[in-house]
Structure 1
Amino acid sequence: MLKWYKEAGQNNDVVISSRVRLARNLKDYSFSAKLSEKQASELVEKVKAATPLIEGQASMKFYSCSADVLGDTEKTAMVERHIISPLLVAKEQSTGLILSSDESISIMINEEDHIRIQSITGGMNIEEAFQAANKIDDITNEIFDFAFHEKYGYLTSCPTNVGTGLRASYMMFLPALTAAGKIIKLAEELGQYGIALRGTYGEASKSVGSLYQISNQKTLGSTEKEIMDSLDRIVWQVMKQERRQREYILTNNYDEFEDKVHRSYGVLKYAKQLSSADAMALLAQLKLGIDMNLIHLKENYNVHELMMEIQPGNLQCQLDKNVGSVQRDKYRADYIRKKLPEPV
Structure 2
Amino acid sequence: MFDNILDSVLSPWLQHTTSDSDHIVISSRIRLARNFRDILFTNKNDEAALSHVDSIVRGLVSTLKDSDNQDYYCISLDKLSDIERSILVEKHLISPVMAEKMPFRSLLVSDDASVAIMVNEEDHLRIQTMEAGLNLMKAFHHAECIDNAIDEKQPFAFNESFGYLTACPTNVGTGLRASVMLHLPALAMTGRINRLVRSIVQLGYSVRGLYGEGSEALGHVYQVSNQRTMGISEVDTIEQLTKIIEGIIAEERKCRQSLVHNDKEGFEDHLWRSYGILRYARSISGQESLEKLSDVQLGVDLDILPAWPIDSFNKLVAITRPNFLLKYMGKEELTPQGRDNYRATIIRETFSQK
User: Which TM class, normalised by the smaller chain length?
Assistant: over 0.9
* Aligned equivalent of 1:328: 339
State the one-letter code of the partner of 1:9: T
* Aligned equivalent of 1:272: 282
1:177-196 alignment, distance < 5 Å: 177-196=187-206
CA contact (8 A) 1:7 1:122 kept: yes
**1:293–1:157 Cα change, 3 Å:** same
Structure 1 residue 263: Cα displacement = 1.9
Deviations 1:13-47 (CA, angstroms, capped at 9, x unpaired)? 21111000011001121111113133213321321
Structure 1 residue 222: Cα displacement = 0.6
Structure 1 residue 180: Cα displacement = 2.1
CA contact (8 A) 2:40 2:46 kept: no
Deviations 1:51-73 (CA, angstroms, capped at 9, x unpaired)? 12212332111111111321111
Deviations 1:135-170 (CA, angstroms, capped at 9, x unpaired)? 111111112110000111111111121111110000
Q: Provide the rounded CA distance (Å) in 2 between the counterparts of 1:16 and 1:300.
A: 11
Q: Provide the rounded CA distance (Å) in 2 between the counterparts of 1:121 and 1:243.
A: 22
Q: Provide the rounded CA distance (Å) in 2 between the counterparts of 1:3 and 1:336.
A: 21
CA contact (8 A) 2:206 2:227 kept: yes
State the one-letter code of the partner of 1:43: V
Q: Provide the rounded CA distance (Å) in 2 between the counterparts of 1:139 and 1:339.
A: 43
Structure 1 residue 269: Cα displacement = 1.6
| Residue 230 of structure 2 is aligned to residue 213 of structure 1 | no
Q: Provide the rounded CA distance (Å) in 2 between the counterparts of 1:268 and 1:37.
A: 49
SS of 1:340's equivalent in the other structure is helix
**1:107–1:299 Cα change, 3 Å:** closer
| Residue 351 of structure 2 is aligned to residue 340 of structure 1 | yes
* Aligned equivalent of 1:98: 108
* Aligned equivalent of 2:157: 147
Structure 1 residue 7: Cα displacement = 2.0
Q: Provide the rounded CA distance (Å) in 2 between the counterparts of 1:299 and 1:30.
A: 49
Structure 1 residue 341: Cα displacement = 5.1
Structure 1 residue 333: Cα displacement = 1.1
| Residue 183 of structure 2 is aligned to residue 173 of structure 1 | yes
* Aligned equivalent of 1:243: 253
Q: Provide the rounded CA distance (Å) in 1 between the counterparts of 2:315 and 2:16.
A: 9
1:14-53 alignment, distance < 5 Å: 14-53=24-63
**1:247–1:60 Cα change, 3 Å:** same
Deviations 1:85-134 (CA, angstroms, capped at 9, x unpaired)? 11211363431100112111100001111001101111111111111111
| Residue 13 of structure 2 is aligned to residue 9 of structure 1 | no
Q: Provide the rounded CA distance (Å) in 1 between the counterparts of 2:101 and 2:151.
A: 25
CA contact (8 A) 1:48 1:97 kept: no
Deviations 1:175-208 (CA, angstroms, capped at 9, x unpaired)? 1111222233222211221111111111111110
Range with greater deviation from structure 2 (152-161 or 9-18): 9-18
Structure 1 unaligned segments of length 5 or more: list them.
Answer: none
Give the RMSD, CA atoms, in angstroms.
Answer: 1.7
Q: Provide the rounded CA distance (Å) in 1 between the counterparts of 2:310 and 2:93.
A: 26
**Count of aligned residue pairs for this structure pair:** 343
Match of 1:133 among 143, 158, 169: 143
Q: Provide the rounded CA distance (Å) in 2 between the counterparts of 1:91 and 1:183.
A: 36
Q: Provide the rounded CA distance (Å) in 2 between the counterparts of 1:328 and 1:63.
A: 31
* Aligned equivalent of 1:108: 118
State the one-letter code of the partner of 1:331: Y
SS of 1:287's equivalent in the other structure is helix
Work out the percentage of aligned pairs sharing the same amino acid: 38
* Aligned equivalent of 1:308: 318
Structure 2 unaligned segments of length 5 or more: list them.
Answer: 5-10
**1:61–1:234 Cα change, 3 Å:** same
Q: TM-score, normalised by structure 1?
A: 0.95
Structure 1 residue 10: Cα displacement = 3.0
CA contact (8 A) 1:262 1:295 kept: yes
State the one-letter code of the partner of 1:102: D
Structure 1 residue 82: Cα displacement = 0.6
Structure 1 residue 225: Cα displacement = 0.7
Q: Provide the rounded CA distance (Å) in 2 between the counterparts of 1:186 and 1:301.
A: 27
Structure 1 residue 246: Cα displacement = 0.7
SS of 2:263's equivalent in the other structure is helix
Q: Provide the rounded CA distance (Å) in 2 between the counterparts of 1:211 and 1:120.
A: 17
Q: Provide the rounded CA distance (Å) in 1 between the counterparts of 2:78 and 2:35.
A: 19
Q: Provide the rounded CA distance (Å) in 2 between the counterparts of 1:230 and 1:326.
A: 46
**1:244–1:146 Cα change, 3 Å:** same
Q: Provide the rounded CA distance (Å) in 2 between the counterparts of 1:206 and 1:141.
A: 36
SS of 1:321's equivalent in the other structure is coil
Q: Provide the rounded CA distance (Å) in 1 between the counterparts of 2:142 and 2:200.
A: 27
